[in-house]
Amino acid sequence: MTKYGSFPGTRPRRLRTSPVMRRMVAETRLHPADLILPAFVREGVSEPVPITAMPGVVQHTRDSLKKAALEAVEAGISGIMLFGVPEEAKKDGLGTAGTDPDGILQVALRDVRAEVGDDLLVMSDLCLDEFTDHGHCGVLDAEGRVDNDATLERYAEMAQVQADAGAHVVGPSGMMDGQIGVIRDALDQIGREDVAILAYTAKYSSAFYGPFREAVGSSLTGDRKTYQQDPANWRESLRELELDLAEGADMVMVKPAGPYLDILARVADAVDVPVAAYQISGEYAMIEAAAEKGWLDRDRAVFETLTGIKRAGARTILTYWATEVAQKLR
């Protein structure tokens, strides 16, 4: 006798019988518009420089960056997040190359904006770590500690020069207290109310940033545990979220993505603004390395991790696979 409401009458496997059935009932779908490509541009190089810890990712020249931006447009992704890598001799304690209108990041922003116009959101990392000789995200005080309020003054200037260079969106990633409000005020003061802020709201002090240090030529000594969040905590992410929204954040982010899907889900449930997640360098490197060893199916692993990030609540995902994945989705 058939039983309904329980086995054998109820068989969930009926909805998994074929690819078309699984596609029809899928609860989470990736789309090219969900994706943002992080990209590095290096000053003083004539050819793209491979990043050894991130196979397939390079430090771009100005010309190769423009080509990557056009490929991103053709693939249908939403944005490109730019990180500048200055010549070592141009680094100093204040990160002045980061606010120089002719610094590599500002030059690259102008290049890409001229190349793609408004067909791709041109985003800029707003932080000093690439430009300081000590590698920290802010200005140091006399005792070698990151000076929060002195750093905010530098961020305000940085926001203005990035906006002038053509950024549609700025991404403050330094985790300084009050940074969103200061940056919003700085942008509004120069009549750039149109420039959006993607707040790095929950940015954890993570071991998975390792390959990124090579990508940006980091000069970091010590660590960033006094300003990035402790991986053991989740409540302070919601506190940071409340503060960022009150200060004027247009979008919020959780970084890293994979190890913090619980945080991502909590943030997504708590807000009505777009939520982003950054699948960072270490997450990328792990899959690429395991695939190179033949230990897993690379493409399946890439799509599975991205689907998991979106399922957890991200509307937008920053990933080094953005263009490749978008091409395959299309």
Query: Could you give the residue numbers annotated as active site?
Result: 203, 255
Q: Is 231 helix (H, G, I), strand (E, B) or coil?
A: coil
The residue written with tokens 């929204």 in the block is: 245
CB 285 within 8 A of CB 219: no
Provide long-range contacts, Cβ within 8 A and 24+ apart, for 235-240. 237/201, 237/202, 237/263, 237/266, 237/267, 238/266, 238/267, 238/270, 240/201, 240/202
* Cα separation, 84 vs 43, whole angstroms: 8
Q: Is 285 helix (H, G, I), strand (E, B) or coil?
A: helix
Q: Is 246 helix (H, G, I), strand (E, B) or coil?
A: helix
Q: Is 305 helix (H, G, I), strand (E, B) or coil?
A: helix
Q: Phi/psi at 261 (nearest 5 deg)? A: -65, -30
* Cα separation, 85 vs 115, whole angstroms: 20
